[in-house]
Amino acid sequence: MIFNQKMECAGKEELKKIQSERLVKLVDYVYKNSSVYKSKMDELGVKPSDIKSIEDISKLPFTPKDDLRDAYPFGLFSKDIKDVAEIHVSSGTTGNPTVVGYTKDDLELWSEGVARSIACAGGNKGDMIQVAYGYGLFTGGLGLHYGALKLGLTIMPMSSGQTRRQIKLMQDFKPRILACTPSYAMYIAEEMKEMGLDPRKSSWEIGIFGAEPWSEGMRKSIEDSLGLIATDIYGLSEISGPGVSQECTYKEGLHIWSDVFYPEVIDPETNKPVKDGEPGELVITTLTKQAIPLLRYRTRDIVTITHEKCKCGRTAPRTSKITGRTDDMIVVRGINVFPTQVEYALLQVEDILPNYLIVVDRKEQMDCLEVWVEVDEKVFSDEMKVMADLKQKITKSIENTLGIGANIKLVERKTIERSEGKAKRVIDKRSL
């Protein structure tokens, strides 16, 4: 199902015309209504009249996440707070959180993006969806809720947690779609096994998973465990929560709704665009938002992009799954390491579980990389040779993937703390 045929399947020239018209309006709007953007544009010597088409977007300033934190709480809003219908907050590890707002029109836009996404994943009017993302200040739960309502689905607003109740109500209500983080989907599968249930016999046929980077290996594990089609949804609170882009059932990239979220992929060092297929940082401009529109927002997510038409018929550009983030990258002995790379390496080895923890420390002026890995109960053994062989396989896989060695610590199932939201994968003791 295609929710918005006109926009999702628009020709290149038609789409460019829409994008250009919206960008011109946006730039004039933020220049008049945002002191932050007026100052940024004046500093660059750029006036609204200089922006005549989407091709002029490179003349505009970037917006790093720090701009939102520095403007806390409402300094980057282009609408008076009394005209804002809803506020969400994205917590950070340091400093002020980022605050985003939505007018009623923004909420409609958000609902539209998520409705397109659910349909893109294979959802249809009349389906039941179990929303197991957190509700509240986190945008995940409400985003899926609004989109499902827009599409005409029956909604189970479970939120995260109460896993055994999630399972019981799935058995009773038989929802077709599960929406949650990929790590929580694996946790649900674990709990079902603990209850003596076969996860593959769940009612779920489609999974819409996001809010954290996850690898193709993790997708295979989820699909094998739960017997569903696992699709990736992308979004971030600063832009519009979930529903910025979504995989279709061909799973050959995430369709980004570029009539409202214009994408660029740049080299994060030079700030210059990269070619299709080359990795770079995703930059997004919100073409139609009112409360807090953003120019060239630095997402810090590393992706590739293609503008080729998809087999599903959609012409929207597609990005790859996130391969890492510029801010979750850790540098160990001069090597750039992303958690998704470790995940990929681990999932090449049989008999281990997709639950891991990366611990980085510094001993005697030398960076040390340790990876905790959970081992399946049937394999976990006191036999020294069995465990030594498994450890060697993991060590080799990580060395082949990362180019550096790591100390491997094998642990029993459920040793590593589980998360009902975003999984915590890295502890960097060098910064403690």
**pLDDT tens digit sequence for 113-149:** 999 999 999 999 999 999 999 998 989 999 999 999 9
- pTM assigned to the model: 0.84
Collapse the DSSP code of 90 into the 3-class scheme (helix H, G, I; strand E, B; otherwise coil) and give the result. Answer: strand
How many percent of the chain have pLDDT more than 90?
Answer: 72
Alpha-helix runs per DSSP H in 213-326: 216-226
**Structural domains of the chain sorted by starting position, each given as residue range(s) with its CATH number in brackets:** 1-327 (3.40.50.12780), 330-431 (3.30.300.30)
| Average pLDDT of span 225-237 | 96
Judged against a pLDDT cut of 80, whether residue 109 lies above it is answered with: yes
Q: Which pLDDT value is given to residue 420?
A: 67
Q: Which pLDDT value is given to residue 365?
A: 67
| Confidence label for 93 from pLDDT (cuts 50, 70 and 90) | very low
DSSP 120-181: HTT--TT-EEEE-SPPSSSHHHHHHHHHHHHHT-EEE---S--HHHHHHHHHHH--SEEEE-
Q: Which pLDDT value is given to residue 379?
A: 73
Q: Which pLDDT value is given to residue 366?
A: 73
Chain segment 142-192, per-residue pLDDT in tens: 999 999 999 999 999 999 889 999 999 999 999 999 999 998 999 999 999
Q: Give the residue among 320, 227, 235 at the shortest CA–CA distance from 277.
A: 320
Per-chain mean pLDDT for the chain = 92
End-to-end Cα separation, the chain, in angstroms: 49
Residues across the chain: 432
Chain segment 39-53, per-residue pLDDT in tens: 999 999 999 999 999
Judged against a pLDDT cut of 90, whether residue 347 lies above it is answered with: no
Residue 273 DSSP symbol: B
Query: How far, in Å, are 204, 304, 414 from residue 312 at the CA level?
Result: 22, 19, 40
Collapse the DSSP code of 385 into the 3-class scheme (helix H, G, I; strand E, B; otherwise coil) and give the result. Answer: helix
Q: Which pLDDT value is given to residue 122?
A: 98
Chain segment 387-400, per-residue pLDDT in tens: 889 999 999 999 99
How many percent of the chain have pLDDT more than 70?
Answer: 96
Judged against a pLDDT cut of 60, whether residue 92 lies above it is answered with: no
Chain segment 201-221, per-residue pLDDT in tens: 999 999 999 988 888 888 999
Q: How far, in Å, CA of 33 to CA of 93, rounded?
A: 30
